[in-house]
Structure 1
């Protein structure tokens, strides 16, 4: 048991370290710098494509970045589970160490009792009393014999329970380890998907000329403005008049202070964030921890009607809850949009709203 015990503790600590390394911001995908291709003669570039062609590019980019966001949520969820399971393995290892120490102590006590019996000729205490010629000694000792029998029975029972506990702890630790390995693989698969989607988006953008990129940016702004205008034209702002709670104000202040910091998938500060990394850290800073991913925030937090939302509430976007932003009032949000962008202030209606959740309901 000693060797297994040390091995389990070592494995648990190794897992914690591995999870920490895998979760470090430095492992986030970095955008490759396009390498210029040498050419003997300049190649003529086609004229600026019509808006409808660039619109198709914009839609393709949106799809790629959306898929990257979904994969990022998968990555964050796997990371969160792995972190929790590694901590549970460490706790189980501590219980195994304590249980083994207790069992060793119980065995020492049982051994001491056996050695004492050997020194008295191997006769049990009851037999020794029956052979005594002193009736007083017999009567006085009878009570002690009964107590000793009860103590021995209790000692054996405690040893049995401790051994059973150790078996349960070991089985539980093995189960946690299997789940940890499964989540490690899920995390690696999600990381691969994120990188693939972002690489595809960057490759598509690298094929555009400067003027095409500028026009593409204009199209993106126009699409966002139209969506926000359509949302405002519903008259929704006339109905939204909720005031932020004290914790909500703190969350908004935190989010506001992060404006300008880069988006990095899987990051939760302090130098960079992904969308749910920003919202979860904002509310943790406000003293109210919430789930790490946008999908879990949507599942676990209280839903409120859009017209009832107040600053600090979280707006969940898209049917798959793949994006989240913090509502800050006056129809605006603060969010970490996507790779290549920074934490920014934007219109709450720029993306399709799935619903609103309130962390401090």
Structure 2
């Protein structure tokens, strides 16, 4: 038999993997579970979202952080209830099959859960060379939902020990998000109001809205719904950038940035400075010529160390109608 261990690659050859059958040998507890072959097909599409290894991705060059460090949680971390997988190789899927069979745990195909059990763990692939994890939607959703986002190593050690081991050693690295989401009390985008006007073709609007909501932001269907409560951020894709809209929004104290800003916020579980994601280069440069630091211009004036959920007020846009901006 193919024995799962830390030296899995040495003990499992391709013939043995085929022998195990990529489809779960038993029906998982979840009634919504499907074959790993179908899951792999979904992941191939899912990887198109923002799947570049995190160590190779752009980082904001703005110094400083937004507010003070958030409060650490003191409540117990969530126990295991169900798992989903993201971007796993054939060998890693073998380990998942063995784990599900050995511990008789629910395997869910998505975050709708399994047999009434809410997903608590996201099992991800970690690149051996870069140490990064592909930013698939499942990866991002797991962070925003404050799930455990762990590597297959957690499954392997649990199988070896015959019991579920502590996850801390196996939390995905490359981004700060997987670890920080388990520690930070307040949601990073509390006090932020977001309107998504356009998005990348590889993303779904409902999923982007869910990410933003999970992170604490208030979502608007259109700019006319804005009442002046919260710092307004309008997200658009690069293809649909509108220079006139960017100028008008900034005049009202709001910001027009690319959708990638939200992805970066989720990946790092923080409110990322807007500087590198601000589209209007000329306006940005003219603002930077003033006696302000980039951090002062593009970071949110909020203190994440406060536990209050009081809304953030924008000094420029309270009571302003955006009917003339659309």
TM-score range, shorter chain: under 0.3
Greater gyration radius: 1
Q: TM-score, normalised by structure 2?
A: 0.23
